[in-house]
Structure 1
Amino acid sequence: MPVLAPPVYDVQKSFLEAMAEYEAEGRGAPGDFSNIGSDMRVWSATWSSPEVFRTFVDGLRAQALEETPRPASFVPTTVLWWVEGADYLGRLNIRQRLAPGEAGQRNGHIGYDVRPSARRQGHATAMLAAALPLAASLGLPRVLVTCDAGNEASRRTIERNGGVADAPIGEKLRYWITTAR
């Protein structure tokens, strides 16, 4: 059974296979502003090296710390991977507070991504459900989760987890979810 866990070194092979799947669907291009897209642009040429992958994983884990250097518009973020044994299935980020300005309202507290070969198997719904108690433990009684208006699968995932619609911002649908149940 998959679990939501901090990034680990022992899924490198599966992680790289997942990144190849993302690349095959066009992720990582300059216009891909997702966490995965950004990571692909920075790391994909080198993260097949075990040492580089270790540095990458350590950097993801450090994002949760307040003292970790980051751009002014970024906030401490708990990065978690959805894994089953040595299989990487997806990623979920919990922003420990909303980013300043409209960016925080557009991106929300939680973002997630399931690798292409693992989609349509309930992983996104299960990941988000598993993240809600963790968000509560970070002091977030409710979280803002957003998705693109055309992303029906993500909209259903959010609604299955108790998402209550708020006013959209542009193409972003916005939902609030209570974390403590």
Structure 2
Amino acid sequence: MPQLIAPDVRFHASFLGAMKEFLDEGSDPNAVLAHEVEEFGGSWQEPDVFAAYVARQHAESLEDGPRPEGWVPNTNLWYVDGDTYLGRLAIRHRLTPFLLELGGHVGYAVRPSARRRGHAGAMLRDSLPYARRLGIDSVLVTCDIDNHASRRVIEANGGVLEDERGLRRRYWIRTGL
């Protein structure tokens, strides 16, 4: 059964397969993996580099952890089924003005071969208790206005539309029961 877990080196091969899928479909890897591509992307194949990447994923949750200037701590989680990496999710611990406007607390991506199977909805649902433990009562989740799949995922998880800003829809989801 798929589950959210902390990043782990045992998913190395499957993670690399997922990154190849994103590239093959023409996805912008920076949209999927943000700053990680710049630092690790060209060398992920090397076990030591991948281990350093996984360690960095864990360290980003720390208040004084490594991350680009202006970024907030975030909890990185991978969605896996057995030994298969299906996607990733990040919970930002607080909102900056930019995140309040466009980015939100939660961002997620599902590898292309695993889409349309309910994984995004399950990932978002399963992330809410993590956010609650971080002291976040309601998470802000955003999506592009024309991304109907993300809109359905957010609304199915209790997302309440606050507004549209530019090309983004902004939803709030309560983390409590």
TM category (shorter chain) comes to over 0.9
Q: State whether residues 28 and 38 of structure 1, in contact with CA within 8 Å, keep that contact through their aligned partners in structure 2.
A: no
Q: Is 2:112 the counterpart of 1:116?
A: yes
The sequence identity of aligned pairs, in percent, is: 47
Which of 166, 169, 174 is the equivalent residue of 1:170?
Answer: 166
Q: Is 2:41 the counterpart of 1:44?
A: yes
Aligned to 1:57: 54
Q: Size of the alignment, in residue pairs? A: 177
Separation in 1, partners of 2:117, 2:105 = 24
Aligned to 1:26, the other structure's residue is in SS state coil
Aligned to 2:14: 14
Task: Output one character per residue of 1:64-88: Cα deviation in whole Å (capped at 9) or x when no partner.
Answer: 0001133332100000000112100
Q: State whether residues 19 and 40 of structure 1, in contact with CA within 8 Å, keep that contact through their aligned partners in structure 2.
A: no
Q: Is 2:90 the counterpart of 1:93?
A: yes
**Residues 1:42 and 1:28: Cα distance change in structure 2 (over 3 Å):** farther
Q: CA deviation at 1:44?
A: 2.3
Separation in 1, partners of 2:45, 2:101 = 35
Q: TM-score scaled by structure 2? A: 0.95
Q: State whether residues 56 and 66 of structure 2, in contact with CA within 8 Å, keep that contact through their aligned partners in structure 1.
A: no
Bigger mean CA deviation after superposition, 3-12 or 42-51:
42-51
Q: CA deviation at 1:27?
A: 2.6
Separation in 1, partners of 2:52, 2:120 = 27
Task: Output one character per residue of 1:1-45: Cα deviation in whole Å (capped at 9) or x when no partner.
Answer: 01101100001000000000001122346xx4x242543343222
Separation in 2, partners of 1:40, 1:72 = 16
CA-based RMSD of the aligned residues comes to 1.4
Q: TM-score scaled by structure 1? A: 0.93
**Residues 1:64 and 1:126: Cα distance change in structure 2 (over 3 Å):** same
What does 1:107-146 align with in structure 2 at a 5 Å threshold? 107-146=103-142
What does 1:74-93 align with in structure 2 at a 5 Å threshold? 74-93=71-90
Task: Output one character per residue of 1:148-178: Cα deviation in whole Å (capped at 9) or x when no partner.
Answer: 1111111100000000001122111100000
Q: State whether residues 5 and 80 of structure 2, in contact with CA within 8 Å, keep that contact through their aligned partners in structure 1.
A: yes
Separation in 1, partners of 2:165, 2:64 = 31
